[in-house]
Amino acid sequence: MKEKVEKTLEQIRPSLQADGGDVELIDVTADGIVQVKLTGACSGCPMSTLTLKNGIERLLKQEIPEVKEVQQVL
């Protein structure tokens, strides 16, 4: 599943990079929790929670039904 998550994150990366940020995959647990780290401009952005939940998590759940939640690792 980790490969599927990484492939899906590649679809999101260009829009994050356009704003000076990026996302790094940290881990995918056996129970469907995806752990990511927002980097660059995204790490300190007040909208990062919206980006994480409404952007990254929504797309991952849509593309990979096994994903239960996306958590940000600091």
Domain boundaries along the sequence of the chain = 2-72
pLDDT computed for residue 38 by the predictor: 94
Q: Model confidence over 9-67: pLDDT tens digits? A: 999 999 999 989 999 999 999 999 999 999 999 888 888 889 999 999 999 999 999 99
- Dist CA 70 CA 40 (whole Å): 19
Tell me if 35 sits within 8 A of 26, measured CB to CB. Answer: yes
- Kindly tell me if the per-residue pLDDT of 72 is higher than 90: yes
Question: Taking the model in full, what pTM does it have?
Answer: 0.91
Residue 40 in 3-state DSSP?
strand
pLDDT computed for residue 4 by the predictor: 96
- Kindly tell me if the per-residue pLDDT of 5 is higher than 90: yes
> What dotted CATH number matches 2-72?
3.30.300.130
